[in-house]
Structure 1
Amino acid sequence: MTRRRKLRPEEQELWRQVARTADPLHKRPAKKMSEPEAGPKPLLSQKPAPRDPLSPFALGERSLPRTQTHVFPKTSSDHLHEAPVRMDAKAFTRLKRGKLDPESRIDLHGMTVDRAHGALIHFILNAQARGLRLVLVITGKGQREDPYDPMPRRRGVLKTQAPMWLQMPPLSSAVLQVSPAHRKHGGDGAYYVYLRRRR
């Protein structure tokens, strides 16, 4: 067993300089190097000082409020329901109830996305040139979801894309309002498109 030697004064000074730059692992009151350890530890028979009584509390009262973890993306119909009404309010109410009959219609069933986009642009601009005000765009509801498909897929690509196409150039200048169709005109599988007057 080796005996520890006492540090010389210059070694003690060097040690203090190093100790000042280090972060302690456990916070303890600093003690001088040459000081002997504190007196004897209290015996077990001595009672510890009484603690302050705990104030009443509820579990989790200081925790942050939980946020909603599942945020589902909005559907095309949700976006259309939230859109402001730009056409006459009475005419819009009649339109929603299926009281207005479309003057022309296009059926995009079975078309690819590229072909459907081109056909829709041609149809809307042609209908506006002919002076029509209300047309029906039939997209279909899309394929039913496969319950055995391991990966969820969006239903109806054309149903999702058509309202976006109608709000983008070159169609945005021709379209005044887009709304989901009434049940008698196709319901979820079609959209009413109310056109601006051509100037």
Structure 2
Amino acid sequence: MSRRRDLSEEDRVLWNLVARSAKPLKGKAIVELPDPIEPRPPQQEPAPASIVTVSPAKPKAQPVRHTLDEPTLDKLSKGRLPIEGRVDLHGMTQDEAYSLLFSFLHRAHANGVRFVLVITGKGSSSGGDGILKRSVPAWLSTPAFRTLVSSHDHAARHHGGAGALYVRLRRTRP
């Protein structure tokens, strides 16, 4: 009488985190769960060897960081603009966090959500900055996320401070 339902990618990532932290009962074997398939940013294929293109040397472009404007940041921190969604990436690996963040932002964007809170954690337990604290802003500037994200900035102290980000999603086109 059990029903099987397919889990969304976000639910699968969360379930795997919970399942890995559970301990089996005495006398029971550990069940290995397959890792979910994570979406990856598309990689460019190298040009065929027969075609040679020569371009003038250009300095490497630094990634452009799109920050929230001051009035919007002030309204978010004071609660005058609603935060319509939040995702917590604490304790996840980079692959799990990337997959969950991408699927969360994709769904939020499809539902017309404008502002979300992404909690990365401060990651200071090892003495340095947390890997997610450094990686998530870089991910938000990649082409895979640029179609969804308009801008992002550090959250106010009561929303997580340096361990969280406000993210403004792009408007959906009708």
TM value normalised by structure 1: 0.50
Instruction: Give % identity.
Output: 45
Match of 1:175?
A: 149
Looking at structure 2, the residues matched to 117 and 191 of structure 1 have their Cα atoms a distance apart, in angstroms, of 15
Structure 2 residue runs without a partner (length 5+): 1-63
CA contact (8 A) 2:66 2:150 kept: no
Equivalent in 83, 92, 107 of residue 126 of structure 1? 107
Please identify the structure whose Cα radius of gyration is greater: 1
Post-superposition offset of 1:145: 4.4
Higher helix proportion, which one?
2
Match of 2:5?
A: none
Match of 1:40?
A: none
Instruction: Render the CA deviation track for 1:20-42: whole Å, top value 9, x for unaligned.
Output: xxxxxxxxxxxxxxxxxxxxxxx
Secondary structure of the structure 2 residue equivalent to 1:131: coil
Looking at structure 2, the residues matched to 113 and 128 of structure 1 have their Cα atoms a distance apart, in angstroms, of 22
Q: Residues 133 and 174 (structure 1 numbering): CA distance in 2 closer, same or farther, change over 3 Å?
A: same
Q: Which has the higher contact order (CA 8 A, sep 6+)?
A: 2
Match of 2:89?
A: 108
Amino acid at match of 2:112: G
- Alpha-carbon RMSD across the aligned residues, in angstroms, is 2.4
Structure 1 residue runs without a partner (length 5+): 1-81, 147-153
TM value normalised by structure 2: 0.57
Looking at structure 2, the residues matched to 186 and 88 of structure 1 have their Cα atoms a distance apart, in angstroms, of 19
Match of 1:163?
A: 137
Amino acid at match of 1:186: G
Aligned residues: 111
Post-superposition offset of 1:102: 1.1
Post-superposition offset of 1:98: 5.2
